[in-house]
Chains A and B, each alone.
Chain A
């Protein structure tokens, strides 16, 4: 304990070089809401901590191709205060805002939530539903990856040694699209999702759904993109029959564990219920756009 080197580089290149030289025994510090708890509990004792909050590319939200590029160190509070992002992608911002308390929101980040690779991460189904991608920097340069490809199992990611998420990109929302995220928890605040659902859908001029993405969290080792659930909506007016099919497809996709927060049966049933409620909000938003 207490022997870590601390560096706060001013550029992504410097951060990558530091991580490359540390040969795997390094951790990136963005908000620290997972890392500092792990250090305190003895689950992490990195030789090097690389604080990314002095890298301007990683601390800013910028408009790009009609959407937004969100730096890896942008906090939940900053995202929530960004009226442009919140207006275009309310589901993503609401999912992020569900994480922890006001104090946690002051520090926690989308990229941290993604790379912590919890199956119950609230922001991840919302980001997958929005078809978000991330820019990753490493010893071999930069690459792009879909948000859904980052977590590979609980606590594990597809990032190679020395790689770091620099930013996340959310594309422009369709003019008649809407997104939403809901989770089930047994109380009203400060809890971890038992089931989480992100829905993003687009309507045509007749109110027919032309595109949809549905993602489930906390019901499998990683967040799922459920094509069958999207197909249940596409080509319909998102009526009761479509909602029934959506709920059935969501429940069918579940592969959850039994734990103190929910049984397999409960999670499977509730996934359908929450999918329906989330889709109803996304539908309302799409209709009003």
Chain B
């Protein structure tokens, strides 16, 4: 069967790619487009390492088909920094050592950015529930949660 020719927008840029029906958006990002920042942890929507947004909605890219990207706008970790300038969440994760091995980090950053765009004054409980679908086996979460709360506070005072 012929591959699908998909026209989409990724990190603000028009992108075209070819994919099979059963290739996930994560497969396409990593294997067809070389955008390997989104990670495959579980491939079943449990770990959040593949988090991206589609039309601003936070999703697991392992649970979206590549063909579904047609005509939509996808944001990945590769679009988070502005050139050499890290996003405040990326900067804070570094300052507060909110990562160790780093596999979960792109997913946490995308998910946290999505939260702060909806709510720049979340409680600690709200942050923990929002990020419940992102698993980290290194940090014990506290440094991640603290980083997100600190960036939210910085945003409010800016």
Contact = CB atoms under 8 A, between A and B. Distances in A.
A51 interface: yes
Nearest to B67: A6
Interface residues of B, number: 34
A102 B111 contact: yes
Contacts of B134: 101
Contacts of A31: 63
B1 A106 contact: no
Contacts of B35: none
B1 A103 contact: no
A41 B22 CA distance: 12
Contacts of A75: 57
A107 B129 contact: no
A32 B132 contact: no
B43 interface: yes
A3 B1 contact: yes
A104 interface: yes
Interface of B: 1, 4, 20-24, 43-46, 48, 51, 54, 57-60, 62-65, 67-68, 70, 111, 114-115, 129-134
10 contacts: A5-B21, A8-B67, A8-B70, A31-B63, A36-B24, A39-B22, A100-B133, A103-B45, A103-B51, A103-B60
Given A102-B131, A106-B57, 11 more contacts: A29-B65, A37-B44, A40-B62, A49-B65, A75-B57, A101-B45, A101-B134, A102-B132, A104-B60, A107-B60, A190-B133
